[in-house]
Structure 1
Amino acid sequence: MKFAPLQDRMAVMPFTLQYLRLFGLRGDRRNRVHFVLALLYRVLLLNFPKLAFGFRDRIDLVIRSISELLFQIHIDLRAVLFATKLREFEELAGLLRKVYNKVKTLDADSPERKIIEASNLGINRRSKSYALYVAIAVTVFFWVPVVQTTAIWLLNRGSNSTDRPEFVTMMELEFYGLDIRGNIWHYLVYASLSSVAHYYSAVYFALSGMVIFSCIKSIAALFELVSTRLATLHELSGKELREELADLVELHVNGLRCIELLENINNLAMMVQMVNCVLIWISMFLSISTNFTPEVVSLLVLLIVMTGETYVLCQLATELSHVNLTVAESIHRSEWIQMPVDVQKGLAMMLQRAQKREGLTAAKFFYMDVERFGRVAQTSYSIFIVLKERI
């Protein structure tokens, strides 16, 4: 993609860090004010009206409204949780930068440098693709109801019938006393004000995913460096061998520390993700199955986006759990038994740490992985079937 091209292939997650700064999650106090004001604006425009002005009488509309509220709370809560962990995030970025700067001094054709450059190119490309995917999703979410409403208004403009179709709103809510379903001018005020809130929500939704993706891929590249250097360790001897071992131990420790920091940053957010995922899936399935109308197009977009994000997060968490185990495999293949005793002891310590499972957890209750996603989906569907029979 041509926008925001990668200027420095040895930089640490430049696209993600740039947009964190742009939307108030890095930088000085003015940036923090931007984040807080954006959060308050979303709460006042999207969350507060649902809570303050109640729901309409139809059960399908109540379920839809609750689904949307849960989705908005999910976005805002994850953004706030990340904002409280910025110190750990900066430490993680600093550790990665320290490793990258060391690799940057190597020859341009060195395997280590190629690993980092290839990783950064992939991170940059896929982060921008994800941002574009979310931008398309929010555009469909917002503009389809606007187009539907425009068509309803044009087709019924000259009609004197009292039984006119309602305008289609982006979310099921009452909006500060305005007749947003019957008065086109009230609808325009609502759409104009809420458009900013919806696009800001999309920004913070995308940033949450981009941060986790960029961090995991960067950490994976760091562990790949360890494995690559272990493969050539047996070719060294004497002082050179011991210096290389010391560097490898330090690099491995830094990698484990990065995983620990990422876990500290995200373990509560992962629990929020899984709990909200179950609640949102159930409520959205109930709403869609109860009364499938044109209004549920927006709800379908939310369902697809939420499902996709949760699956990708579980897939990334699975990858993170495996990267440390690859170091153990590399040690076994490095002919370490034939090396000097002191080197064997150093590698044995690395092996012991590499055999311990590391990864992302949901508030330290369980590890996140693709298998967990399957269980959550199965549980959600079972609850949905039970509730559908009762309603």
Structure 2
Amino acid sequence: MVGSVSFFFGGVINAAAQNIAMLIIGRILLGVGIGFGNQAVPLYLSEIAPYKIRGAVNQLFQLTTCLGILVADVVNYFTEKIHPWGWRLSLGLAVVPATLIFVGGFFLPETPNSLVEQGRLDEARKILEKVRGTPKVDAEFEDLKEASEAARAVKNPFRNLLKPRNRPQLIIGALGIPAFQQLTGQNSILFYAPVIFQSLGFGSGASLYASIITGSMLVVGALVSMSVVDRLGRRFLFIEAGIQMIGSMIIVTVTLALKFGHGETLSKGVAALLVVMICLFVVAFGWSWGPLGWLVPSELFPLEMRSAGQSVVVCVNLFFTAAIAQCFLAALCHLRYGVFILFAGLILIMSIFIILLLPETKQVPIEEISQLFEKHWYWKHIVSKDVELVQRHQKQQQQEAKTAAAV
């Protein structure tokens, strides 16, 4: 709700802008609003969803984001025809989703995890029973209370991120995935889709129309991801999409090298091929790095670090978003079609990163995901160096031995 207020005033200032300074201030306020939303929504969905469908529920965030991008593309297509104030209407319409978010916030319940952390146990159990649709939530409620007790013992969650037992979450969830999500080049393609398509020979109106097509591909990708992520798993979608995205970028690079390299203009057939390849790239991102870039980090962190970890995720993601947005046009001018092979190389690196370092988290209760790293071929050697974790396991083993002896 706080973010929606910032978003609202950002839209108002941009719509009324009389100079560049007002546009910058409005854009900053919009960015602050986006930061609040990116911090809160993935965590909320991960905590409120049953673990068996956590992936699909969490990806509602990406689906609605993609729908928002598509709506923005359609709005831009029509407002571009309104002179001279169409751009003000386009920017000012940001107040509509901001208002919906603010009003909707009054009707959202707190998550059981949050209520347990606040010591409101009765409310937490009622909410848990309500969202699960059954009063049989004893085991899950006990897990929440145990996780909350562990969270209270942590005095500095940001410092706790650096401990060996949390190293996998830090490297994969807080740093690797949010950075790699932007290094796919997807947002650069979306930011500058009109410029790219104009450079491929489309007119200004046609380039905006092509942007609507890519936005539609994002929605299709998000829908596919929602339907299969809890069956096929996160790793499968990452790896399959990596292959598809690399192939698409290679074809785009080779085609442009053969045509532009000899000073030829693009025929309609070649331009259509390039649009198809870009759409294949976008739809693959739409069912992999787009939604999973938010889902996976939100489910990796244990409760005691979840808020701190997600804040790092958002900061890293937005930092690389801004950096890539600033650098992409310069890279496109200097490298020309070579920029696409650069992205293909980066996607290869991040696909290897996923194959080697990310365990499968599908249908694993969020409170048990940390245990996956204790069995992982690489991370178990890092996690086992954590003294507190070793002591905790020893106490559990002693307690289990006493219980067995008593029986």
TM-score when scaled to structure 1? 0.30
**Bigger radius of gyration, 1 or 2?**
1
TM-score (norm. length: structure 2): 0.29
The structure that is helix-richer by fraction is 2
